[in-house]
Structure 1
């Protein structure tokens, strides 16, 4: 399995991951001693807790990091890997607190706003919660879908758990009673790849899908406020197919009310402006790159960090200049961080992005009429082949009338 690369940022704490390893540093510090490195392949194996369930034997995977995130304050960091483990860290200072087994490979995770629990969504459609305050505590099943979950989020007040699945649904469940469903956000026509509660606007949700759209919702009512066709933004020559436009990242910059959507199979980043009063998204710019982009994330004080498949400049900073987003080539911070990543390039080399795993999620389409006509033609050919040729009939012999008596 190919390794994945990604970014996570909270405040000035920045994590770059690739394969089974991640590197944590600060965008403010110039001290290389402040860098923390961790390798999941060196993590001690831990047998899964029973939880009263029949568990399968531990499935040793590739140790590749599948998902990672900071808590709201940045005090904690968590990741899940291909070996079915949830690993929890304290960040001030960096320290591994626990390694816990999960039931199945996970697709997404998030902290509750209170930072008391970590919610983990897996491929079977279940969400488990794990205690942060009791780092060794077992997981607890919270809710389930009938299809694979691709993302999970929580409302800023911890009242709702939002889940996105392969079957086009976004579900809004009460956190205290997950069997009680507040609403469904319905409208996507393909799998929902990412959901994102907008910081500063706790009632708004952004979502992206394999149908090539970015949608804005009032999630408690399930009301769709706006829909942007990403394929249409690329121009007539490129807008024939929406495949490859499922976002692998949605990120928000409160300073300029900007939304950045990464569709790295293009490769491009779409930048929108959110108008909270009208609850509309206005397209501002498409950022194009000559190489693969692995991930993007906003930093409040600086702008948009871009992790790309370029050894000379793996991490670059983009900022708006006179209304147009441009790379900041002379950024001392990006040069320092890129220099550090070049020394650990083996961690990133050969990485794929999250969206590469989306190709298998698209619906298979069938032209039933064409298949019917083809099979009918084959049957007619077989029937003709089975018929024996007949000799042409001769002239009919009619009896001559005899002499009349």
Structure 2
């Protein structure tokens, strides 16, 4: 996994065991984090609590919690847990708190954890290291930075306290499939999640047993969400659509067809609550990215007023992630099983070195350890598994039925 995002004035890039905070305008590195070889976590997964009678947690997960949390390792004949070789620890997700004071990092590999750092005014001091039951799929702070939500690949959503660091994490809600993205409304009244089963769910908070609404209409996985206003969100999906919703009402306000399935969504605000730039990373298309200008009319309708497709040399390398600044697009991917970082002009969509200091990209890759000879190969996630596998057993049945009728008619004629 290679994570990248921009928050003024830092470009944050995470890969392997390291996270770099760099200035995209010069050669300055603000700070860097390197994961320790051992996080010192207990082998037991975090215990979790959920409010009595919660309808957001599937029955199987309620039984698991009643049994005392996540499933423990199976014992061998000698009575000890089975021994297995642990994969190296690596950065999975990185997120800044809204106030810029905290940084959350989730890890994958042998030790799955949520790491919380004090990012300001200190130089990324580790505050806590808490084990995760499973690999994280998304990460989001609440608006007052007092807690952080972590979703995992089985559909669970946990809340971790950022003030009481020893507090037990709470299981707030659960989906029946992997959750790809999560939002928390500014007023902290709603948690919005999207999953592989085409659904966008709006859950009340803190009473997460109460589902406020659904935004239904996608026909494939919903890969990304973005908060536009206090009532509106944007979503992108593998069904080749970009949509805008009034999530309070669960009402679709805009459907825009895309040239390919969308696997990443990023939205920048250009004019408060009125004009936005939505950037979409495509799957398996000659154009790698689409940039769409979303505008809100006085009558509350939404429209796409401008479209720009960015090729980004799609097909010549395997693209995994991207981020935007006011004038550039930064894209990470794999080239010959090595991490690669390329910079494109946001106005023209062409690869550029204008304004990028010579050696800047190499400095970033060296800082992440991607240029080292013994660096492990970098292979982006196989996104083809996100799509539903569809089985057609009706055609086979109809063909057999047709043959059976023909045989019966031949017997009668004979």
Q: Deviations over 1:89-110 (max 9, x none)?
A: 1212212211101222221110
Q: Which residue of 1 is the match for residue 310 of structure 2? A: 287
Map of 1:262 onto structure 2: 281
Question: CA 1:361–1:325 in 2, change beyond 3 Å: closer, same or farther?
Answer: closer
Give the number of aligned pairs: 362
Shift in Å at residue 258 of structure 1?
A: 1.5
Q: Helix, strand or coil for the counterpart of 2:384?
A: helix
Distance 2:35 2:153 in 1: 24
Mean CA deviation greater in 221-230 or 111-120: 221-230
TM-score in terms of structure 1 length: 0.78
Give runs of aligned pairs for residues 1-400 of structure 1, distance below 5 A: 4-27=1-24, 30-32=27-29, 34-39=30-35, 41-47=37-43, 48-51=45-48, 53-57=68-72, 60-82=86-108, 83-92=111-120, 93-198=123-228, 201-231=229-259, 245-254=261-270, 257-266=276-285, 268-277=288-297, 278-290=301-313, 291-300=317-326, 302-309=327-334, 314-320=341-347, 324-333=348-357, 335-342=359-366, 344-346=369-371, 350-353=377-380, 356=382, 358-373=383-398, 375=400
Is the CA contact (8 Å cut-off) linking 2:140 and 2:182 kept in structure 1? yes
Structure-1 separation of matches of 2:142 and 2:357: 31
- Provide the C-alpha distance between the structure 2 equivalents of 1:221 and 1:99, rounded to a whole number of angstroms: 39
User: Aligned partners of 1:124, 1:369: CA distance in 2, in Å?
Assistant: 30
**Which structure is larger by alpha-carbon Rg, 1 or 2?**
1
Q: Secondary structure at the match of 1:329?
A: coil
Return the alpha-carbon distance in structure 2 between the equivalents of residues 286 and 359 of structure 1: 22
Whole-angstrom distance in 2 between the partners of 1:187 and 1:369: 25
TM-score normalised over the length of structure 2: 0.77
8 A contact 2:267–2:276 mirrored in 1: no
Structure 2: which 5+ residue stretches go unaligned?
50-67, 74-83
Kept in 2, the 8 Å contact 1:249–1:295? The answer is: no
Structure 2: how far apart are the matches of 1:141 and 1:361? 24
Shift of 1:203: 2.1
- Measured in 2, the distance between the counterparts of 1:133 and 1:265 equals 43
Distance 1:18 1:109, change over 3 A: same
The 2-side partners of 1:151 and 1:334 are apart by: 36
**SS of residue in 2 equivalent to 1:360:** helix
Aligned residue number for residue 236 of structure 1: none
Post-superposition CA distance 1:335-382 (Å, at most 9, x none) = 52443314532488743445x3x3223222223343125556898999
* SS of equivalent to 1:341: helix
CA RMSD of aligned residues (A): 3.2
Gaps of 5+ in 1: 232-241, 388-405
Do the aligned residues in 1 keep the contact of 2:244 with 2:255 (CA within 8 Å)? yes
